[in-house]
């Protein structure tokens, strides 16, 4: 078994799919990339059992074969090479010899047959989405998903496809993000919960990818196909909470403010807040917003004033500054609107500009009780 491949092309593909591999694997074979050779097509696969990512590249070869090669060793070696052709030759000593311009390297391999097969998506529902649209939806929502092992359904992103549009939701019970597209529709109503890890990989790869991504899914698995790549994963099992019930419908108090000014102010003031609660206080009256924080344990305090447009009753409301910063960071607009009803009800952040036609972003943040 012998093939010749460009070092840069191979490194690029391995770096993309290498994100699947865990630092500690239950099965030693999962520390490897699977190389499947079919004449001039090389399919490379990485897996952690839950998620499997494979991609194809064109090479020079007349052979067939299947071997698994150590991922870390390959990546570390390829990073040091300038662009050049590399020749991989399987030897009788149970090694693969990599021949470069000015050296050769022997790597022990494992029989490819031992590598676990990706879960097939049987009887799938199929839909297609533009790659950068999917990346945008994931980017906007993923940060709001939870990390609680006791509530696995909240540790992913909820995909809801219908004939009226697409909805993506993530929440950790303190914050919630709902991203909607009304300009893209699905043929039938369907929903599933995607885990974090495959989404993390997809959002990085699909940024700026304008071609369609084919999504196939059933009750247990999903597969995303784009270009020469296929990413399949096990879905999170369970029923997603009724997120609509927690979004307050009547929010008569509305503040419009410059996003960056608000973000920078919250960041600065929060440095002086309690290190456990990260609590800041927003006091809104007329066209002025006062942001303050106090850490009684250390007698630290800070206060800033900003101009804003405000309609509604004068009010004081407390928020965890870290959640506000995360949300403001994940919006790409000049001005935001913060809609509120009462100091003990969630605040709703929406962008005032910078959204595409057919795109709707709603961010919800739960308040914290103020210590008066």
Verdict on whether the full-model pTM lies above 0.85: yes
Provide the pLDDT for residue 162: 94
Query: What average pLDDT does the structure give for the chain?
Result: 95
Average pLDDT of span 303-321: 96
- Those residues whose C-beta lies under 8 Å from the C-beta of residue 372, and which sit 6 or more positions away, are none
- Those residues whose C-beta lies under 8 Å from the C-beta of residue 117, and which sit 6 or more positions away, are none
In the chain, domain spans = 2-114, 125-244, 248-368
Provide the pLDDT for residue 119: 84
Give the pLDDT confidence of 20-43 residue by residue, as tens digits.
999 998 899 999 999 999 999 999
- CATH match of 125-244 with 3.40.50.720: no
Q: How many residues does the chain have?
A: 372
Reduced to 3 states (helix: H, G, I; strand: E, B; else coil), residue 137 is: helix
In Å, how far are 111, 288, 309, 346 from 285, measured between CA atoms?
Answer: 70, 6, 10, 19
Q: How confident is residue 372, by pLDDT bands cut at 50, 70 and 90?
A: low
Quick one: DSSP state of residue 279? E
Over pLDDT 90: what percentage of the chain? 92
Closest CA to 55 of 14, 84, 5, 90: 14
Neighbours of 26 (CB within 10 A): 8
Average pLDDT of span 325-354: 96
Cα–Cα dist 48/282, whole Å:
45
Provide the pLDDT for residue 187: 87
- Phi-psi group of 39: left, alpha or beta (phi > 0 → left; psi -120 to 50 → alpha; rest → beta): left
Describe the chain by its helix, strand, coil percentages, rounded to 5.
20, 45, 35
- CATH no. for 248-368: 3.10.150.10
What is the architecture of the domain spanning 2-114? Roll (3.10)
Burial classification of residue 326, based on how many CB atoms lie within 10 Å of its CB (0-12 exposed, 13-18 middle, 19 or more buried): middle
Q: Is residue 174 over pLDDT 80? A: yes
Give the pLDDT confidence of 179-238 residue by residue, as tens digits.
999 999 988 899 999 999 999 999 999 999 999 999 999 999 999 999 999 999 999 999
Contact 232, 223 (CB under 8 A): yes
- The gap from C-alpha 105 to its chain's centroid, in whole angstroms, comes to 37
Give the pLDDT confidence of 92-144 residue by residue, as tens digits.
989 999 999 999 999 999 999 999 998 889 999 999 999 999 999 999 999 99
Provide the pLDDT for residue 26: 87
Provide the pLDDT for residue 20: 96
Over pLDDT 70: what percentage of the chain? 100
Q: Which long-range contacts (CB under 8 A, 24 or more apart) does 162-165 make?
A: 162/186, 162/189, 162/190, 163/187, 163/188, 163/189, 165/358
Q: Is residue 371 over pLDDT 80? A: no
């Amino acid at each position: 078994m012998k093939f010749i491949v460009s070092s840069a092309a191979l490194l690029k593909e391995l770096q993309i799919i290498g994100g699947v591999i865990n630092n500690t694997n239950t099965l030693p074979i999962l520390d490897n990339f699977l190389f499947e050779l079919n004449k001039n097509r090389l399919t490379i696969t990485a897996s952690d059992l839950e998620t499997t990512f494979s991609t194809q590249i064109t090479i020079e070869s007349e052979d067939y074969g299947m071997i698994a090669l150590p991922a870390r060793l390959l990546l570390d070696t390829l990073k040091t090479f300038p662009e050049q052709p590399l020749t991989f030759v399987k030897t009788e000593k149970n090694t693969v010899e990599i021949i470069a311009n000015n050296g050769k390297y022997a790597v022990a391999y494992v029989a490819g047959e031992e590598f676990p097969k990706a879960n097939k998506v049987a009887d799938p529902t199929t839909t297609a989405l533009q790659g950068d649209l999917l990346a945008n939806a994931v980017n906007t929502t993923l940060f709001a998903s939870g990390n609680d092992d006791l509530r696995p359904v909240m540790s992913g992103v909820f995909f809801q496809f219908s004939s009226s549009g697409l909805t993506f939701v993530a929440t950790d019970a303190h914050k919630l993000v709902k991203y909607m597209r009304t300009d893209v529709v699905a043929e039938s109503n369907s929903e599933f919960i995607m885990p974090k890890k495959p989404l993390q990989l997809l959002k990085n790869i699909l940024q700026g990818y304008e071609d369609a991504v084919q999504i196939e899914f059933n009750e247990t698995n999903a597969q995303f196909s784009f270009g020469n790549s296929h990413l399949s994963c096990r879905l999170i099992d369970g029923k997603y909470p009724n997120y609509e019930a927690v979004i307050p419908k009547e929010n008569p108090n509305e503040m419009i403010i410059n996003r960056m000014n608000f973000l920078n102010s919250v960041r600065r003031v929060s440095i002086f807040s309690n290190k456990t609660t990260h609590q800041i206080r927003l006091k809104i009256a007329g066209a002025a917003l006062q942001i303050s924080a106090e850490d009684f344990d250390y007698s630290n305090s800070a206060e800033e004033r900003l101009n804003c447009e405000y309609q509604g009753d004068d009010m004081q409301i407390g928020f965890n500054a870290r959640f506000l910063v995360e949300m403001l960071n994940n919006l790409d607009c000049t001005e935001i609107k913060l809609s509120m009803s009462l100091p003990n009800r969630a605040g709703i952040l929406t962008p005032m500009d910078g959204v595409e036609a057919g795109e709707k972003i709603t961010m919800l943040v739960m308040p914290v009780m103020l210590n008066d």
